[in-house]
Each structure stands twice: as C-alpha cells, then as structure tokens.
Amino acid sequence: MSLYSLLHAHLGLTMGPLSIVAISAVLVMLIELLLPTRFLQLPVWLSLLGLLVALVDAFIHLSQVPQYSLHTLVSDGLASILTCLILLLSLLLLLFHVDELKSQTNQFPREGAYLFLFATAGALAMVTAVDLVTLYVGLELLSVSSYILVAMTRKRLALEGGMKYLVLGGVGSALFLYGASFIYGMTGQTNLYTIARMSHQLWLLNPAIVVLSFLLMLCGLGVKLSLVPFHYWTPDAYEGASASVAGFLASVSKSATFAMTLRVLLYLFLGSTHDVFPYVAAMAALTMVAGNLLALGQNKLRRLLAVSSVAQAGYLLIPIALLAQATPNTWPLVYNSLVFYLVSYSIVTIGAFAVLSILEQRYEVQEIADLSRLPRQYRWLRAAFACFLLGFAGMPLTSGFMGKLYLLIAALRLHELWLGVLLFAVSVISFYYYLKPIRTMYQKQLFTDNGEGQAVSRQTATQTVIAFCVLVTLLLGVWPGILLQAFSHVQWY
C-alpha cells in the first residue's frame, strides 16, 4: 500500500488539502534556501502549484459525507466550503503577488511565498479543527505568518503596522487562550463535540464563569476580526503591507477566523445562547456604526479599505449574533447567510486590492484625489474599481447586494428586526464614502497616458485576477442561486 493510500485510509478526507498545503510550504521553504537570486519567482510558482493541487482535491471531495478524524478534524459542510474558498482566495492573491515581485517599486522578498502557504495552512486548520488545542495552533500559525508578511517590505509604515498587529494580535491570542482555559478547567476536555454535550450543565452550575469565558474568547477573536474597539491595528497594517498581504488579511484571515468563531461560540456555549449571544449582537452593532462613521473622513485609499473592512466585519457578525434566536432547524439559515457574504466580500476585497496594486505601482495613487490622474486608456480599470466599490456598498446587481439581502432576511426571520434596520441604515451611509472615489474617477479631467507613469512590467496575472473577481461579483449579483444551490448539497454540521 502506498503512503498516500495509507494516509487516506486512516485520515479520510479531513486532512487532504491541509496536508498538501503544509507539505508544499515546507518544500518551498527548503527549495528557496538553495535557489540563487535570479530564480526569484520559482518559489511563488511552486506555491501556486501546491495550492492548485490542494484546491482540486478539496473540490473533488466537496460533496462527500462528513468525516471525523483523530477526534480533532472534521470535513463537514462548513469545513469543506471554507476550505475551497480559502484555497481559491490564496491562489488569486499569490497570482498578483507574482506581479508585485516583478515591480520595480515594490521588491517583495521571495520568502513571502512560503509564508503565504504557512498562513493558508493555519487558516485551513482553523476551519477544519474541532479541538481547542488544534484551533489555537492554527490561529497562531496564521497570525505569526501574517505578522511577518505585513512587515516584510521593511518600509517604515510596514514596520509600524506590523508591530501594532503583533502586539494587539498577541493580546488577542492571550485573551482567547485564557477564555478557553476556563472551559478546559470546568470540563477537562478540549474537543468541541464533547464540550457541546456538557454545555447545558456548565451553564447551570457555573453561569458566571461561562459568561467570563465567553467574553474573553469573543474579545480575543474580536482583535483578529478587527471588531470595534479592537480594530486600531487595522489601518496601519493595511497601509504598510503590500497589496497582496493586505488582501490576504482582509479575505483569507477574516474568512478563517469567522468560521472558527461560529463553530467555537456555538459549540462551547450551546446551552447559554439566549444569555451570552446578545453580547455578540451589541458588538456587531457597535462595529457596523463605528466602522462606517470612521470611513466617512478617510482620504487615503488604503485606509478607506481598511476601515471599510471593519464595517464589513460588523455585517459578518450578524449571523453569529442571530444564534441567540436560532434553533437547530434554523441553523442552516445562519450558515448560508454567513458563508454567502464571506464569499461575496472576499472576492470583492481581492479585486479591489488588485486594482489598487496596479494604481500604486504605475501612478503612485495613494489618496482618493490621485484617482483624477488616471489616463483615458484605463477605462477598464476604473470600471472594475467602481464595480468593487459598489459591491462593498451593496448596489443591486452586485454580489454585495445579495449578501446584505440574505443577512437582512435572516435577521427578520429570526426576529432580530433592530439588527436588520441598523444594517440597512449604515449601508445607506456607506454609499457616501464608496461613491466618493467613483465620483473622483469620472468627474475630474482624465489625462492621456504620456508615459510619465512608473515603468512597471506588464501585469498580466493581476489583470487576470481583476477580471475573475469582476465576473464573480456580477454573476453572484444576478444569479446567487448558483452558490446557494451548492450550499443545499452540503451538510453544514
């Protein structure tokens, strides 16, 4: 029996993509040590190959019956869908990371390739693990890799953003671990399924400690998710990092952490949902309002997208807050609304940062006013950026509109009318700052490209990523059933 057959027989489907990405990361790291400088892009292409193989394996086993391996990993619907999403997002980000390597204005170190893989492996562990220890290891693997990626360009802003992210991220990890230690102390268990069966008893015997544990873990995860008031690292980290890394933080990291948050909070505190999940609703409301208000005064594009991601995190927290009113029969509604918006938001985010990457490298666009300097030849780029901004805002015919609509429907069906009304209100406010860059691009005088822009290589990979993201944004806006139909064939839990 071959090694692959042996591993597949004992581990089933749960560790396939995770194992492929982890092994690829180690191999790319070793190969990079031996390569001369002229083979700068080879580690990136090898990383892309590893992600592609893992993505194919994840898609092949997407509709399989959920499996549970080693009392640690699971391949249920949430794990399978999020695994495919994370691998696809990482693939797109590494594609335009290739163009960043070739750019004369952003010499990104080649070590970034295997750090992307290690961070992706940590994200995959977070969405497939059902054990507190494994979840924490995955969270730290993602976090530590992200700290290095943010500061790797060695610019002053990157070092400052990386340091803030490191300090606050360490505090977040400590808070999560401290909260989890209370759960372990009361149960003697780290497996989420085992703890879920004891959650009602825990609430009856130790309600104060359960609430304390919940708040500590929520605050710890809130740092990772950029929830208010734990969001202070976000603008500096996004501004200092390269475009591909900022896109990674806003899409892959958020997707994995939200999936982990849903699974952990639901399983650990199943017996006290009506008493503790209102705290999640309060944090969602605070994050939505504060994120949108902070974005109103932003003039720099990077910081606008960073603060916008804070508001988007508030929207994504709504389905988790709805667990206070949900029953096992309505849990699929919560899962559907959360995952659909994660897919929509992540694709739009990557597209926006890919456009921003081209604008920064060629025309040194930093602020919204700089968009007026775009040449007439860049009509397609302006149209793509406008599409992504409208997707963030929730304009009809974009995936963002359908995502917010499903969040609103979920809130109404689960009798949380005030969350639905607040979501609608702040979404209206968001149109002001999302339309501001669009107005600048189209109302100002457009210049002809006279060759004065930065001399950068042809950015074919980045353009391919932008085209794909535009297609998905519009496709999900007019035909959301293509994704919801796929959700109907998976067993979420």
Q: How far apart are CA 364 and CA 361, in angstroms?
A: 6
Model confidence at 282, pLDDT cuts 50, 70, 90, reads very high
493 belongs to a structural domain: no
Which of 14-23, 191-200, 284-293 holds the top average pLDDT?
284-293
Rg (the chain; Cα; Å) = 22
Q: What is the pLDDT of residue 9?
A: 47
Please tell me which residue, 432 or 327, carries the higher pLDDT value.
432
Q: Is the Cβ–Cβ distance between 308 and 389 less than 8 Å?
A: no
Mean pLDDT of 313-321: 93
Query: Which residue has tokens 């979420």?
Result: 492
The reply to whether 2 falls in a domain is no
Q: Is position 83 within any domain?
A: yes
**Residue among 254, 137, 267 nearest 189 (CA):** 267
Q: Does residue 408 form part of some domain? A: yes
What pLDDT was estimated at residue 454? Answer: 54
pLDDT at 79: 87
In a domain, 1, yes or no: no
Give the residue from 167, 71, 122, 147 showing the smallest Cα distance to 259: 122
Residues 6+ apart with CB under 8 A from 2: none
Domain that holds residue 325: 9-487
CA distance 60 to 62: 6
Q: Is the confidence at residue 473, as pLDDT, over 60?
A: yes
List helix spans (H) across 103-206: 112-128, 132-151, 156-187, 192-205
Q: What is the DSSP string of 382-444?
A: HHHHHHHHHHHHT-TTSHHHHHHHHHHHHHHHTT-HHHHHHHHHHHHHHHHHHHHHHHHHHHS
Mean pLDDT of the chain: 85
What does the pLDDT read at residue 400?
92
- CB burial of 438-448 (b: ≥16 within 10 Å; e: otherwise) equals bebbeeeebee
The kind and range of the H/E element at 248 are helix 243-248
Question: Does residue 477 contact residue 401 with C-beta atoms inside 8 Å?
Answer: yes
How many Å apart are CA 148 and CA 168, to the nearest integer?
A: 14
Give a yes or no: residue 19 inside a domain.
yes
Q: Does the residue 206 lie in any domain? A: yes
Per-residue model confidence as pLDDT tens digits over 2-19: 544 544 544 445 578 888
Average pLDDT of the residues in 158-171: 88
The answer, yes or no, to whether residue 352 has pLDDT greater than 80, is yes
- Gap between the Cα atoms of 398 and 343, Å rounded: 12
* Confidence category of residue 113, pLDDT binned at 50, 70, 90: confident
Residue 445: pLDDT band (50, 70, 90) is: low
> How many domains are contained in the chain?
1
Specify if 298 maps to a domain.
Answer: yes
pTM comes to 0.91
- And the tokens for 376? 């007439």
| pLDDT tens for each residue of 196-238 | 888 888 888 888 898 999 999 999 999 999 998 898 899 999 9
